[in-house]
Amino acid sequence: MTVNPTQFTAIYSFDFTQDGKQSRTIYFIRLRLECALITDYYELLMSQIAKRIIFTGQVQGVGFRFTALSTANRRRLTGLVRNLTDGSVEMLAQGDSADVDDCIRDLEESFAGYIRETKIEDVPFSPQLKNFRITY
């Protein structure tokens, strides 16, 4: 939803007594709000999601993490990818919902012969993650 910039006019009327005379003063205050920018930023934040994905199968030692890094960077995602001790790979992907889903789909297609199972869960978005990286 995009809000057009809106113009508000507020009129304030004050009655007061000064030097024994009653006086009425009216103040006109015009305020122009640029709501569109605020709304666009809010919509951007609200469209950002985070998913934790566990890939199992023969996913270590086949270039999976480097492909995940490249795919995530192409889609401008933030997060991380790392090997787990049980032989699986964990990925935390954050960004636009469609981009996260497309990244997962691209990895599943690229490693179709290696991935046995993909488990996906929604997790809270973490704005502290500023890029996508491989961790060890």
Determine whether 83 is an active site residue. Answer: yes
75: CB partners within 8 A, 6+ apart = 95, 99, 100, 102, 103
Of the residues 52, 82, 83, 133, only one is catalytic, namely 83
- Tell me if residue 4 is catalytic: no
Per-residue pLDDT of 65-120, as tens digits, reads: 999 999 999 999 999 999 999 999 999 999 999 999 999 999 999 999 999 999 99
**Residue 93 dihedral angles phi and psi, to the nearest 5°:** -120, 130
Give the model's pLDDT for residue 57: 97
Domains of the chain by residue range: 6-42, 49-134
Q: Average pLDDT in the 2-25 region?
A: 48
Average pLDDT over every residue of 35-41: 52
Reply yes or no on whether the pLDDT at 54 is more than 60: yes
Which of the listed CATH numbers 3.30.70.100, 3.40.190.150, 1.10.3720.10, 3.40.50.300 matches domain 49-134? Answer: 3.30.70.100
> What integer pLDDT is reported at residue 33 of this predicted model?
42
Catalytic choice (30, 65, 74, 133): 65
